[in-house]
Structure 1
Amino acid sequence: MFGVFTLATSAGVGITISNRRARALLAMLCLAPGETLERDFVSKLLWPGRFQAQARASLRQCLLTIDKSLGPIAGGVLDLSHGRIAIDGRRVQTDLGYLEAALADGRIGDACGALGGIGNKELLDQIDFGDPFAEWLSAQRRYAESRLQLAVDRALAELERTADVAGEQELRDAWHACDRALPLQRGRKTRIAVLPFEQHDTIGGALFLAEGVVDELSFRIGSIPAVAVVGRTSVTSVANSGRTLPEMAVALDVSHLIEGTVHRSSDGIVVHVRLIDGPSGADIWSDRYDGTVADVIGSRQIIGSHFIAGLCAALGTDDKFAPERKMTANRDAYALYLQGRDISLRAVGDGMIAKGIELLEQAVEIDPDFAECWAALAEAHLYIAGFTPTLDRVERAGYMADCARKAIALDPEQGHALAMLGVYEFVNRNPVAALDYGYEAYRLAPNDINVALRLGTFLLNLGLARTALPYIETVVERDPVHGRNYAALCAAHLCLGNFDQAIAAGQRMADLGFPAPWLAVAYASNGEHGRAVETYWNLRTLLGTMITRPPGMPPIDDAARDAYFDLAARGICSGDPDARAAYCGMIDMLHQTMPDPYDNSVAFPAIWMGHAELVMKIYGEQTSLANIFGLMTLWVDVDPIRRTRLHPDFMGFADRVGYVTAWEKYGWPDALRPAPVTK
């Protein structure tokens, strides 16, 4: 499948099929043995422009040619029906399938040999039947490459877990020597930040053209294999800080910046884009685009394709990028989407996310087929349930899932929406389905920060920190000024026993202005109880702002607040058994009396103090979009956190909430790995 398509018997005797379309059809079938292709779809790809009846007749002739060539060797290998075609997956072996199987089975020598054989060859090279086929083949190549990257990542994680240093190094060397791993070979990817564009508008009205251009450029550039685009949260934070361009580049750890302007007048729009060298702040490349509003809204690919080739040439990389997203051609829906998504992502201020949801709902009411907006609406429901004091968290999870399903129905390539379905499955006691969705989402959208973060946290929640860490580190690298990412990084290092690194991650979170109880837990885990108590105590000043009050609970005065945080800090962080017992009693009482008995203010301390009975009661009854984050630290192997895991009822609890099923499929945490069975 890599390079020029070739075919041979199992004994190695070459098979020649002279009809090039028959050869291409066989190659298409071998890309996914056992999976069916629609006859109409195949005929349109291989005979573009022909009448349907003619194309179908030509397809039948190709199938006869294949059957005649393969019949004496493997009769009946084709599986034909009235509308579909497939090839028997049990009777075909490809170099791609062999490599994936070797990686999955841990046959590192075979995998490395296969990698050496395919080298830098492109999948199905030298097959060309026009633009429709080229577009399809380009998507298949991206799909195969992302599958391989994921398979290699999983194999490396398993080799690291089993301490197979030689195997890990052998696989890394083989993968890096392969030109498809060129960004790894050169070091990390070229890192770019797309700064907010200025909009100069002589017409007025709520039309967020500059935001739309930035959104499209970020998506297109982020799909280039050799480039990593920094997340919008980090970029917005730094862009609004008053720094110079070189200072922004340092803060975001990027080599290049992109900035620009959008001018809108009655004559149309003009877009200016500049690529800037980060260290010097000097322009490297610039371009402009003159067009209409419809060019931006109805045909965003014009903006992307107009600038991408020049940007890639300036960066010295290939201009391969993903196909257009399922957006909207309606200018009002697009403007509402941009505004609503921007507001909901801020997750700050009373009613901000709710306002964002209102705008997004207006957008999908105008255009119900707006897949990207349904995904943004799903994420907004997740945020309002996860980060605001609301009592309808269960219902919000359902809203989130409904919106995500609508996005996927409209656009099956919606990795972001799939990841949110994974969140829904996790809170509904089906973590194996959550990981299934998470891995599929990552295959579809490996460059989406949200997808990688959710897959990483699913793994963390199940105690698979070693597997999770590469995903979390990628998220932090791509979005380095977003404090919440460091909570996951801190938790991963805590679970792996890397306490110095956990403290560094927690401190970075605090430095960015986010509440960092994880830092206090990291200090306590490292035996620094005095610093841990002080760190947790200092969180009290954030109550009611960055730390929301539990839903349904009234405000408290400063004296009551200070007394509560004093009890909590000593109970969680001091190592004093009496202080722990006192605070365990307090959260027992809160669990019985609060409007939301499963709130973070009860669930998180229960985990950190190893209050096993309460932990199992809370998460056995209701994992929510808010308290799910506490599970990341359930697996820290220090006292008292480990008491929950060591409780005699823990495995029964883990079985009831679906953890055991997930472990049986995706691997057990090191501390719970079943002993090998001897015969």
Structure 2
Amino acid sequence: MLLLEPDESLERDHICKLLWTGRFEAQARASLRQCLLGLGKILDPLECDLLEISRSRISLNTASVRSDLDDLEKALADGKWAQATASLLDIGGKQLLDQLNFGEEFEAWLAERRQAIEQKLQTQISDALDKLKTSGNPADQDKLLDAWMARHPASSRAIMADRQSGRTRIAILPFASQDSENIQGYFADGIVDELITALGQVPQMLVAGRTSSFQFKDTELSLPEIADLLHVSHLVEGSVQRDNTDVRMNVRLIDGQTGFESWSYSYDGTEDDIFSSRKQLARKITKELGAALKLDIAEPDIRPMTHNKEAYGLYLQGRALTRRAIGDGVLGTAIKLLEQALELEPEFAECWTALAEAHVYTAVYTPCLDKLGEVQRMAECAQKAIELSPKPGHAYAMLGLYQWTQNDAVGALDLALKAYQLEPENPAVVMRLGSFLLYCGRTAEALPYIEAAIDQDPVDGRNYGMLCVAQLNLGNIDAAIRAGQRMADLGQPSLHLAAATAASGNHELAVEQYKKTRLLMNSVIFPPAGTTPMSPEAMDAYWLLAAKGVHSGREDDRQQYCQMLEMLHASFPDPCDPTIVWPAIWMGYAPMVFKTLGKQITPPNMVGLMSLWADIEPIRQTRIHPDFMDFAKRIGLVAAWEKYGWPDLIPEPCS
């Protein structure tokens, strides 16, 4: 303990409290005296004045003791790189004061000391790597970095990614809003959005996706932990404090390894000043960030969203609710706010895109009977956004969803590719292209896009569903299970995890995983539109029947659930509801697949298309059914294959 505080003394009472927790003070003091007497007897023959003891405090004579940590820090300070590398390799992944347990208070103290020492060591390593880079010593730089990765592989991931790609990976975190009027931080979110857009245009940077960045609003995680989860080497954080119309904005660049500030910028003005000069501020901050990161960057071309401050505020609030998606009335409120913004500013292209997204989310995430109506409105909004501003790609990608509902897979892929050409660094656009390829059965081609989107937006649980299916389709069962588990860990339904687990042969666990999805009813997924809510007992019985039918591996369970799907198809207000479509695909129940997807594809049930391409039983039964090619032609897949290439599991016909 004293060695971890080499330049400080510890109070005797503090030591007693940490090491003899639960004893009376007098007993703890007596135990400490006995301990010191014992140490004295051991040290006396060595003639080493190791401890300096007073009535109230104890300290260490640092000249009389060495440690592996001390040797490492001295080697780094003296520029003895080979010695520092050897010390790091010798220490490896061992923790300070490992395997000591004296109770919760000691553990809390030790965790604090470990964190402080690790941060100090990270700073020293970072400084050493910079010196080696400046001095042109790549061999020693690589050795030291490799040794550091042996101890901290996670914190070095972003550095290695930077070095391999030649790009700096950065995330813009939600700004803290200290708003005296308590408008829930939308003003601060707008500034973050402008910065993400501006930095996303810098070729030397790879900016983390909005969805993942905003997951860390009001988080208790440390900055290095956030950087590790987002796979970035640097973070930008800030705060906006507003008092009436006066605004103070602070922006800071944070080293992702150490959590230390390496650059800062402040702005004082009025709210109107910041609103009217958003474009100039984003450019200035981008330029100064580039200088701080030693990047020679060109000035980004930033399109001002709107000059109407009220419309801008409504847009930010509506988009924030759209991003949330889940919750009673959330999307309906989002649509109203966005429509109000467009009444004030009809040529607000970004708001039209946000409204398009809110409509498609309504079709996907609510028990909506008029799914096709929502899709039609989504397409109209996306088309309006494109007319006003043809450069952003996201609207094209959403318009591609509409083409799927029209059985125009060629048009969908055309639009997804155009969106990608316009915004290749937008993870939502990249994932959309990957998903479209996945729906067409071109899984090997889709996987790199899916992985790239997840790399840039790694805390969006929905993306891991795509990855799980892609790996399952390719026969990578263990990788599919890992992706499905990550999806479940991030709070998404475990349906795809169950499918991967069943493919591994563990049917009992797959049934349990599928049943767990019932716990997310009315929070992440909803009952079918227009149906009467079931009692808890009836719902438990239904989910057990469904889980066994889909994943028990028993033919009698499968047949029983297929009969249930026929009944649901005949009685549901929406006979093509995902509640019917998805299980039919996983059970290889081809007649139901053809009756539902063959009649109408909607955004929520089209997700089932991607699971058609797993070459495992019983899923493959639909693909090998004699009517499959007629079905594929009817929904536009054959036309897409003829233009873009045939799927992995179907050979191209001979001409």
TM-score by length of 2: 0.73
> Quick check: 1:588 aligned with 2:566?
yes
Contact 2:443 2:473 in 1 (8 A): yes
Counterpart secondary structure, 1:362: helix
Give the match for residue 223 of structure 2.
245
The CA deviation string for residues 461-517 of structure 1, in whole angstroms up to 9 with x for no partner, is: 110111111111011111111110000111111111111111000000111111120
* Selected match of 1:472 from 435, 441, 450: 450
1:332/1:518 CA distance change after superposition, 3 Å: same
Contact 1:543 1:549 in 2 (8 A): yes
1:299/1:669 CA distance change after superposition, 3 Å: same
* Selected match of 2:512 from 522, 529, 534: 534
Give the match for residue 371 of structure 1.
349
Counterpart secondary structure, 1:607: helix
Counterpart secondary structure, 2:242: strand
Give the match for residue 117 of structure 2.
none
Deviation of 1:183 (Å) = 8.4
Read off the aligned partner of 1:467 and give its amino acid letter.
Answer: E
Residues of 2 paired with 1:359 and 1:296: CA distance? 22
Read off the aligned partner of 1:466 and give its amino acid letter.
Answer: A
Contact 2:176 2:185 in 1 (8 A): no
Give the match for residue 119 of structure 1.
none
1:498/1:374 CA distance change after superposition, 3 Å: same
* Selected match of 2:581 from 597, 603, 617: 603
> Quick check: 1:198 aligned with 2:167?
no
* Selected match of 1:413 from 385, 391, 405: 391
Deviation of 1:317 (Å) = 2.2
> Quick check: 1:285 aligned with 2:263?
yes
Give the match for residue 669 of structure 1.
647
Deviation of 1:210 (Å) = 1.0
The CA deviation string for residues 63-111 of structure 1, in whole angstroms up to 9 with x for no partner, is: xxxxxxxxxxxxxxxxxxxxxxxxxxxxxxxxxxxxxxxxxxxxxxxxx
Residues of 2 paired with 1:188 and 1:593: CA distance? 57
* Selected match of 1:630 from 608, 613, 616: 608
Deviates more, 1:258-267 or 1:625-634: 258-267
Give the match for residue 119 of structure 2.
none
Residues of 1 paired with 2:591 and 2:183: CA distance? 57
Give the match for residue 276 of structure 1.
254
> Quick check: 1:483 aligned with 2:470?
no
The CA deviation string for residues 338-381 of structure 1, in whole angstroms up to 9 with x for no partner, is: 01100111011100011011000000110000000000000010
Deviation of 1:648 (Å) = 0.6
> Quick check: 1:384 aligned with 2:362?
yes
Residues of 1 paired with 2:173 and 2:595: CA distance? 46
Read off the aligned partner of 1:214 and give its amino acid letter.
Answer: V
Read off the aligned partner of 1:652 and give its amino acid letter.
Answer: D
Alignment of 1:94-105 (within 5 A): none
Give the match for residue 302 of structure 2.
324
* Selected match of 1:559 from 532, 537, 542: 537
Contact 1:295 1:303 in 2 (8 A): no
1:272/1:222 CA distance change after superposition, 3 Å: same
1:317/1:676 CA distance change after superposition, 3 Å: farther
Residues of 2 paired with 1:615 and 1:267: CA distance? 58
> Quick check: 1:644 aligned with 2:654?
no
> Quick check: 1:216 aligned with 2:213?
no
Deviation of 1:414 (Å) = 2.5
Read off the aligned partner of 1:448 and give its amino acid letter.
Answer: N
1:470/1:318 CA distance change after superposition, 3 Å: farther
Contact 1:299 1:329 in 2 (8 A): no
Give the match for residue 483 of structure 2.
505
Alignment of 1:35-114 (within 5 A): none
Read off the aligned partner of 1:280 and give its amino acid letter.
Answer: T
Give the match for residue 422 of structure 1.
400
Contact 2:177 2:185 in 1 (8 A): no
Residues of 2 paired with 1:660 and 1:261: CA distance? 53
> Quick check: 1:454 aligned with 2:432?
yes
> Quick check: 1:360 aligned with 2:341?
no
Give the match for residue 522 of structure 2.
544
Residues of 1 paired with 2:316 and 2:286: CA distance? 22
Counterpart secondary structure, 2:455: helix
Instruction: Report % sequence identity.
Output: 49
Larger radius of gyration: 2
Give the match for residue 263 of structure 1.
241
Give the match for residue 431 of structure 1.
409
Deviation of 1:668 (Å) = 0.5
Deviation of 1:583 (Å) = 0.7
1:625/1:267 CA distance change after superposition, 3 Å: closer
The size of the alignment, in residue pairs, is 496
Residues of 1 paired with 2:363 and 2:198: CA distance? 31
Residues of 2 paired with 1:237 and 1:437: CA distance? 29
Contact 1:297 1:330 in 2 (8 A): no
Deviates more, 1:268-277 or 1:465-474: 268-277
Contact 2:433 2:449 in 1 (8 A): yes
Read off the aligned partner of 1:526 and give its amino acid letter.
Answer: S
1:611/1:321 CA distance change after superposition, 3 Å: farther
Deviation of 1:188 (Å) = 6.7
Give the match for residue 71 of structure 2.
none
* Selected match of 1:617 from 585, 595, 607: 595
Deviation of 1:553 (Å) = 1.2
Residues of 2 paired with 1:638 and 1:392: CA distance? 34
* Selected match of 2:311 from 314, 328, 333: 333
Contact 1:340 1:359 in 2 (8 A): yes
Residues of 2 paired with 1:192 and 1:184: CA distance? 10
1:188/1:669 CA distance change after superposition, 3 Å: farther
Contact 2:444 2:648 in 1 (8 A): no
Counterpart secondary structure, 2:564: helix
Residues of 2 paired with 1:321 and 1:628: CA distance? 41
1:249/1:207 CA distance change after superposition, 3 Å: closer
1:521/1:287 CA distance change after superposition, 3 Å: same
Contact 1:391 1:551 in 2 (8 A): yes
Counterpart secondary structure, 1:279: coil
* Selected match of 1:402 from 376, 380, 383: 380
Deviation of 1:300 (Å) = 2.2
Give the match for residue 138 of structure 2.
none
The CA deviation string for residues 197-241 of structure 1, in whole angstroms up to 9 with x for no partner, is: 123345676883211111101111122122222223222323333
Contact 1:224 1:320 in 2 (8 A): yes
Read off the aligned partner of 1:619 and give its amino acid letter.
Answer: L
Alignment of 1:511-526 (within 5 A): 511-526=489-504
Residues of 1 paired with 2:388 and 2:372: CA distance? 25
Counterpart secondary structure, 1:272: strand
Contact 1:268 1:292 in 2 (8 A): yes
Deviation of 1:185 (Å) = 6.8
Contact 2:174 2:216 in 1 (8 A): no
* Selected match of 1:313 from 291, 297, 303: 291
Contact 2:494 2:516 in 1 (8 A): no
1:450/1:553 CA distance change after superposition, 3 Å: same
Residues of 2 paired with 1:531 and 1:382: CA distance? 34
Contact 2:173 2:216 in 1 (8 A): no
1:496/1:207 CA distance change after superposition, 3 Å: closer
1:349/1:279 CA distance change after superposition, 3 Å: same
* Selected match of 2:210 from 232, 238, 241: 232
Instruction: Calculate the aligned-residue CA RMSD, in Å.
Output: 1.9
